[in-house]
Structure 1
Amino acid sequence: MPHVSGTEGYAAEADSLLVRYESAPSEQVHAAVLHLLPTRSALVLDIGAGTGRDAAWFASLGHRVVAVEPTEALRSRAMRLHPSPAITWIDDSLPELAVLAARDEQFELVMLTAVLMHLDEEQRQRALPNIAARVAPGGMLIITLRHGPVPPGRRMFETDAETIIAPARQLGLSPVLNRDGDSIGAENRAAGVTWTTLAFTKQP
């Protein structure tokens, strides 16, 4: 199995991460962007879907979801935990998103929750056009960036919001939200982990 850059540490911790991620309600995790989410049935892309918590939440709201997760240990657990017919699971990874590109679908909402900080600057710049290509005209892209100490065994890079916003503008993505906030989890809060939430609309 080829190594996917940025997934370091996740397979070994899959069981503990399942408990941790699933204990955080999606409505709370994404409180800053609830007003930006589609109110009617939409096609949603969740890149780095992890345990499927958010994918299942979107499905429960009536959306169809394509969930992308490159770590097999997480993806297999997520599929068992959230066996929704509204969720299609795909083994694909950034920066290329080659499998998604071959499907040639566009989505009214694209989510990258705690994903982009796993890529170094060169990988992020390669990834952004491939992400933007999956956002439908008039659609929404929502990104959360993690700031703070890197857990042992993980690969993360400090990512400034402007290094995302500036190239996103060049790709036809207009920023509509740039908000900093604290972690909702006690462990992350104690470690000094904070988050930036970015949202963009794609010009029709």
Structure 2
Amino acid sequence: MNDILEGYAAAATPDLIDRYEAFDPADLYASVLDLFPTRKARVADIGAGTGRDAAWSARRGHDAVAVEPVRQLREAGMALHRDDGILWIEDALPHLSKLAAHGPFDLMTLCGVWQHIDDEEREIAMIRMAQLAADGCLLVMSLRHGPGAPGRPVYPVSTDETIGAAMQSGFSLRRRAEIDSIQPGNRAMGVRWTWLAFKKQSCAQTGAAA
């Protein structure tokens, strides 16, 4: 994980930051957007980068927490979105040890993050996110399939294994959508994405299922 974070730190140029900020979150989340909470919610954007998505959530009326371990991206985001009312936290998967003080959450998003941690870390992270989720929390994840960018290696991701791990942690699957990358360069490399949306079951539901 440290190598990947160092890769992002080295890549955090003004050009990369501008490219991150150019994406419209409504387009990125289009395949799951209808599931997002419409009432004011507590939102955690995990691996927030420049805070693009957290700022979008804040502008939609939510209390947004941006979780980003890379200082260069975090500082850029704090400057870009200083007026959006985001709470920034320096924290990282899989343990998210600092985030617990600010939960539980009604919505957690991981956009382009899951491929950067290995299977052992994913198991820990899924359990941890379940602990941070309020009853009925929506967990939204995008899984990258295909090669990573130079200096930012990725691990293979199994959609079925991810779904299984989430269900074992108390989430139920609400949506699975397979899409091509919206970036022409990634499409040329064969990169595609799976979007997953899960809902955290309540303790009563979990007990009834058992």
Question: TM class by shorter-chain length?
Answer: over 0.9
Aligned residue for 1:92? 91
Offset at residue 5 of structure 1 (A): 5.7
Q: Distance in 2 between the 1:105 and 1:88 partners?
A: 12
Any gaps of 5 or more consecutive residues in structure 2? 203-210
Counting only pairs closer than 5 Å after superposition, residues 107-122 of structure 1 correspond to structure 2 as 107-122=105-120
Q: How many residues align?
A: 201
Show CA shifts across 1:4-38 (max 9, x none).
46424111111232111111111111111110111
- Residue 208 of structure 2 is matched in structure 1 by none
3-state SS of paired residue (1:124) = helix
Q: Distance in 2 between matches of 1:100 and 1:149?
A: 30
In the alignment, does 2:83 pair up with 1:77? no
Report the structure, 1 or 2, having the larger helix content: 2
Q: Deviations along 1:129-175, whole A, 9 cap, x unmatched? A: 11111111011000001111122111210101111111211111000
Contact 1:6 1:119 in 2 (8 A): no
Question: How far, CA to CA, are the matches of 1:60 and 1:87 in structure 2?
Answer: 10
Distance 2:29 2:5 in 1: 22
Q: TM-score if structure 2 supplies the norm length?
A: 0.91
Question: RMSD over aligned Cα, in angstroms?
Answer: 1.3
Structure 1 unaligned residues grouped into runs of 5+: none
Residue type of the partner of 2:78? M
Identity %: 47
Tell me the residue number matched to 2:37: 38
Which consecutive aligned stretches of 4+ in structure 1 deviate over 6 angstroms post-superposition? Answer: none
Q: 1:177 to 1:118 in 2, by over 3 A?
A: same
Q: TM-score, normalised by structure 1?
A: 0.94
Q: Deviation per CA, 1:100-148, whole angstroms, max 9, x where unpaired?
A: 13x1611110001111110011111111111111111011000001111
Amino acid at match of 1:194: R
**Using the alignment, how far apart are the partners of 2:39 and 2:83 within structure 1?**
19
